[in-house]
């Protein structure tokens, strides 16, 4: 059985690309063999040849989200529900185009500190991407110390995400599907050893296995704040890029610069979203260093 794409290859690929130089092209990403898996992710030992991403996607438990609950948490299933809705549509287009140009598939959403609205941005970006017909987007809650996406969506996770990351739980025990275009890997169990889990080779294999079976165009990983612990650094080699969410009321230029230095030569920083900005209600995605 072939091994999943080596994490060193992912690091080397990310290091050769700068999102701050317009027109720069990423090397063509390595193609994962159709039947490659580094671990079992399904409860039953079905032959891999029987799987295709469309069937696996349809096999996930379908859930219906409560629109009133979503709206109460500022989440938009339609862009006309809020003045910030069109801003998230613009954000999705710019993120999707930038990632497609560079052959990227995984983006982490982080912030300098707690309370900047990174989960809010991650959830609305996922919902905006999922509004594209025929697309596939996966959103995972990797803020393992303080999981919050399940609360925003108003759903109770069936199992702890840790189980999928360490191989003790199969994919279908953790992931659920919203409609035909969005899959959620939620987590309701806080874990103190989050960095150890994220550093683990099991986590790298789990992410690779998920992508092989679900084949999403974009996977969004809601990460912990970058300046609070080393959890984000544990994801080096497991991400193609990060998007930094700053809070207009509390984040300082020093905080943003500290994050830029932390990511430098480790993970490409796609841009900064200014949350709670007065102009768009969301802010802006910008390319380039401040």
In this prediction, residue 84 has a pLDDT band, given cuts at 50, 70 and 90, of confident
Number of Cβ within a 10 Å radius of residue 65 = 17
DSSP structure class, residue 200: S
Contact 5, 32 (CB under 8 A): yes
Contact 143, 186 (CB under 8 A): no
Domain annotation for the chain: domains and CATH numbers: 53-275 (3.40.50.300)
Query: Region 13-30: what's the mean pLDDT?
Result: 32
d(Cα 246, Cα 231) in Å, to the nearest integer?
18
Residues 6+ apart with CB under 8 A from 146: 114, 190, 224
* Nearest partner of 221 among 201, 233, 207, judged by Cα: 207
Q: What angle do CA 129, 164, 10 make, to 5 degrees?
A: 65
The two tokens of residue 50 are: 């029987």
In this prediction, residue 81 has a pLDDT band, given cuts at 50, 70 and 90, of low
Q: What is the pTM of this model?
A: 0.80
Contact 135, 235 (CB under 8 A): no
Q: What is the pLDDT of residues 189-234, one digit of tens each?
A: 999 999 999 999 999 999 999 999 999 999 999 999 999 999 999 9
**What does the pLDDT read at residue 85?**
75
């Amino acid at each position: 059985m072939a091994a999943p794409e080596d994490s060193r290859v992912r690091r080397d690929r990310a290091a050769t690309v700068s999102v701050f130089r317009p027109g720069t092209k990423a090397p063509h990403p390595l193609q994962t063999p159709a039947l490659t898996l580094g671990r079992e992710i399904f409860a039953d030992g079905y032959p891999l040849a029987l799987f295709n991403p469309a069937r696996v996607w349809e096999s996930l438990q379908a859930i219906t989200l409560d629109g009133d609950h979503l709206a109460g948490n500022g989440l938009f299933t339609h862009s006309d529900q809020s003045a910030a809705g069109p801003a998230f549509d613009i954000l999705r287009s710019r993120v999707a185009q930038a990632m497609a140009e560079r052959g990227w598939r995984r983006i982490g959403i982080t912030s300098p500190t707690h309370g900047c609205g990174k989960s809010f941005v991650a959830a609305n970006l996922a919902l905006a991407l999922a509004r594209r017909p025929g697309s596939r987007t996966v959103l995972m809650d990797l803020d393992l110390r303080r999981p919050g996406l399940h609360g925003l969506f108003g759903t109770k996770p069936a199992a702890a995400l840790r189980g999928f990351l360490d191989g003790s739980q199969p994919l279908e025990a953790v992931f659920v599907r919203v409609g035909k275009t969005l899959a959620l890997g939620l987590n309701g169990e806080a874990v103190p050893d989050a960095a150890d889990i994220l550093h683990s080779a099991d986590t790298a294999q789990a992410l690779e296995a998920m992508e092989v079976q679900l084949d999403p165009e974009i996977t969004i990983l809601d990460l912990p704040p970058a300046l609070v612990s080393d959890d984000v650094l544990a994801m080096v080699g497991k991400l193609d890029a990060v998007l930094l969410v700053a809070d207009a009321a509390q984040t300082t230029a020093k905080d943003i610069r500290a994050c830029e230095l932390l990511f430098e030569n480790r993970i490409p920083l796609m841009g900064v979203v200014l949350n709670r900005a007065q102009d768009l209600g969301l802010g802006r995605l910008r390319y380039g260093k401040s």
